[in-house]
Amino acid sequence: MAQKLLILRSSARAFGVTSARSFGTSTQLKQKSGLVLGLYAEDESGQSILTPAGKRFDQSVDGQLSKLIQSSGPVLKKGKTRVFFGLPGYSAVAVAGLGKKGLGYNDQENINEGLEAAAEGANLGVWKYQGPKSKKAKPLPVIEPFEKSGTNWSNGVAKADAQNFARRLMDTPANLMTPTIFAQEAASVLSKVNVEVEIHDQKWAEEKKMGSFLSVTRGSDEPPRFLEMSYFGASNSLSKPVVLVGKGVTFDTGGISLKPPGKMDEMRADMGGAACVVATLKAAATLKIPINIKGLVPLCENMPSGRATKPGDVVTAMNGKTIQIDNTDAEGRLILADALWYAAQSPNRVIVDMATLTGAMTVCLGQAAAGVFSNSNEMWEELQKASCQTGDRVWRFPLWNFYTKQISEIPGADLNNIGKGPGGGSCTAAAFLKEFVGDSVWMHLDIASVMSSSGSEVPYISKGMAGRPVRTLIQFLAQLGGSK
């Protein structure tokens, strides 16, 4: 039987995890039910304050819990937990420090610290990638709210589930998540929530003259795919969709510009943008966000072989622009170029692309945030607002002509796929993409920095692929659909 966790609504994502972990890993527990609840930092009299539901539990055990809390040591700090055994009804009761009551938006940290996110924190915190082992994996703890709650709880679960779905797609080894498998997986999951999925093949891409996309897939024996997904949530099925475009490189060796072997396995997650698009669509459909959304995902491997693109080769993209490929490891922008141009050919409200595009983004931001480039202040502000709510943050970078010059002032072709530098690798990559969006309102998220989690930087996401910033995207779409 799965272990069962009951959660009291508390006010921070961080706490699901630490508390949940003590249950998830405990082997001494005979009964299998635990309780997690929140504790605010002290009031003027130096007392910690249980959440309202926490107080009700405390009353039901004749105040035993509050006595234990008081006698167990110093006031619990924000994000720290303490586990108590022997209370009636549960094998263990964990108390998580929530910090001061009534926290709000912190403009230095760009985060709203006063929000309730127990469902998200708990469901993200207990999840871990379980690969194909011959021995059956231990079931993950089942989480339920302690008291009946409204849609807030189920909305939080839907968001966390979507992120966990993206994490699974990203962490799955590349031989088990080829373009073909990814496409099938997306179709099977999305068809259940009423999202239409078309799977285009190589011939389709050839007919569309997607020479830039096809130049990347040449070196691989795995056939490419191009996913086109449609969710109609608006009352008018003709209202302009938000188009989400995701980089779907199911493995990035670098191609002939081969990457060094250390940590190359991480490049199984180079389809993180694609995973975020599919997961976001799943959540949008589950939550019935009242807008139309289209998802476009070019999928391929980037491999070296006798047929692979060679440094210096020149190819022609769908929009007719010629590209000199001086580094075959800068492949993400090549597959996105055709996908963005394809997106820009149909009416749209905004095009948002997501891509694990440049290692330079991690140099800039570490794992703190994803980088954003946009030609629209309005869309940027909407996304930033969303990220303050979810805690999965974004930070804006420039799209100056300075960088466009660095990828366009070359003798042999219209564009070069790497910038002249020095430096600015994330910005030249974005400037390259800008050449393919026409007049569309557009936002590019470089999510390379948040692709994986070290297990310590973000306390509620264990080590592995992170599925970030799916919840921010969902929140952004909900805002476009009219929610605050």
Which residues are the active-site residues? 259, 333
Torsion, CA 440, CA 422, CA 300, CA 379, rounded to 10: -30
Verify binding: residue 418, ligand BES, rule CB under 6 A: yes
Q: Which residue has the tokens 């006595």?
A: 67
Verify binding: residue 332, Zn ion, rule CB under 5 A: yes
Among 107-115, 324-332, 344-352, 420-428, which window interacts with Zn ion (CB under 5 A)? 324-332
CB nearer to ligand BES: pick between 283 and 448: 448
For ligand BES, the binding residues in 231-270 under the rule CB under 6 A are 252, 270
Distance in angstroms (rounded) separating the CA atoms of residues 92 and 338: 55
Total residues interacting with ligand BES, rule: CB under 6 A: 16
Verify binding: residue 145, ligand BES, rule CB under 6 A: no
By beta-carbon distance, which residue lies closest to Zn ion?
252
CB nearer to ligand BES: pick between 88 and 421: 421
Among 27-35, 128-136, 286-294, 358-366, which window interacts with ligand BES (CB under 6 A)? 358-366
Peptide bond into 179 cis (omega under 30): no
Verify binding: residue 270, Zn ion, rule CB under 5 A: yes
Phi-psi label, residue 102: left if phi above 0, alpha if psi -120 to 50, beta otherwise: left
Of 302, 362, 309, the closest CA to residue 332 belongs to: 302
By beta-carbon distance, which residue lies closest to ligand BES?
359
Contact 166, 246 (CB under 8 A): no
Distance in angstroms (rounded) separating the CA atoms of residues 262 and 265: 8
Verify binding: residue 58, Zn ion, rule CB under 5 A: no
CB nearer to Zn ion: pick between 244 and 334: 334
Q: How does DSSP classify residue 174?
A: G
Contact code string over 327-346 relative to Mn ion, x by CB under 5 A? --x-x---------------
Q: Which residues touch 377 (CB under 8 Å, ≥6 apart)?
A: none
Among 20-28, 179-187, 246-254, 384-392, which window interacts with Mn ion (CB under 5 A)? 246-254
Three-class secondary structure of residue 308 per DSSP: coil
CB nearer to ligand BES: pick between 92 and 276: 276
Of 283, 343, 297, 295, the closest CA to residue 478 belongs to: 283
Distance in angstroms (rounded) separating the CA atoms of residues 11 and 447: 27
Contact code string over 316-335 relative to ligand BES, x by CB under 6 A? -----------x-xxxx---
Q: Which residue has the tokens 């891509």?
A: 355
Q: Which residue from 58, 113, 161, 252 is in contact with Mn ion, where contact means CB under 5 A? A: 252
Query: What residues make contact with ligand BES under the rule CB under 6 A?
Result: 252, 270, 327, 329-332, 356-360, 418, 425, 448, 451
